[in-house]
Amino acid sequence: MCGRFTQYSDIPSIAKRFGVQDGLIRVADGSPRFNIAPSSPILAVRLDSDGQRELVRLKWGLVPHWSVEPKTGYSTSNAQAESVDSKPAFRAAFKRRRCLIPADGWYEWQALPDQKAKQPWYYRGQQEAILAFAGVWDRWEQGSQVLESCTVIVCDANAIARPVHDRMPVILGEETWHDWLDPNLPTETAKAMLRTCPESWVRSYPVSRAVSFTRNEGPQLVEPLAPDPVR
């Protein structure tokens, strides 16, 4: 799955990577995030009403527009690639409100023999490239209350991630971003884009168990435990 990830690249770097013009950056420059958990505000790229890419903040954990209350939780922080087009919580958003979620990497936890505490692993792009997670977003309104939220779509893990977890975020290549964001793209075409990324796109290594506690933040969380643990 994807229950914790990072967004520590600065706003100008993210905007440049995703082709967002200066006037369409809708967020103030914020602090780098090394331990993002569901219900947190996260950066996302979507199309505005004029069809231009904009950089916004959305709450992680999708609240459907038809929800009675604006609650988010772990249950909607991820959507399964196989069912995102049919699950009631996601299907309307999947049709016309797809987004890209910039990520420097994500974490998964490995169960170890004879150990109660799991070992966290960090997954990041090769050459430290900013990754693009596939996501969908929705807008909930009730009177003067407005909440925009999103989910990360997950798929079968590749050979790099599979030893730790059988699922991973859908990572989209740059050549697919334009089509993915297009609200007029047929649903079946969008769903066909939800594939496991090549192993060559990511690398992984074990990190400190400090990341297991959401109160912890900082670049030390993504430092490898061993001198050369990359596989």
Structure tokens at 137: 């977003």
Looking at residue 86, what is its pLDDT?
97
pLDDT at residue number 158: 98
Active site residue 99: no
Q: Tell me if residue 174 is catalytic.
A: no
- What are the tokens at 131? 């990754």
Pairing of strands 78-80, 145-156: parallel
pTM of the entire predicted model: 0.94
* Per-residue confidence (pLDDT) for residue 228, from 0 to 100: 46
Q: Which CATH class is domain 5-222?
A: alpha beta
Please, are residues 28 and 112 in contact by the beta-carbon 8 Å criterion? Answer: no
For residue 212, the surrounding DSSP H or E stretch is none
**pLDDT 10s digits, 98-126:** 999 999 999 999 998 888 899 999 999 99
- Which residue ranges of the chain lie beneath pLDDT 70? 72-74, 227-231
User: pLDDT tens, 27-49?
Assistant: 987 899 999 999 999 999 999 99
Taking the C-alpha atoms of residue 38 and residue 62, their distance in angstroms, rounded to an integer, is 10
What is the pLDDT, as a whole number, of residue 70? 84
pLDDT of residue 231: 54
The pLDDT, as a whole number, for residue 72 is 65
Q: What is the CA radius of gyration of the chain?
A: 17
Residue boundaries of the structural domains of the chain: 5-222
Residue 30 pLDDT:
80
Pick from 105, 125, 101: nearest CA to 181 = 101
SS3 content of the chain, % helix, strand, coil (to 5): 20, 35, 45
- Please pick, among 2, 99, 150, 155, the residue that the annotation labels catalytic: 2
Q: Which of 54, 108, 148, 197 is catalytic?
A: 108
State whether the Cα torsion 131-132-135-141 is positive or negative. Answer: positive
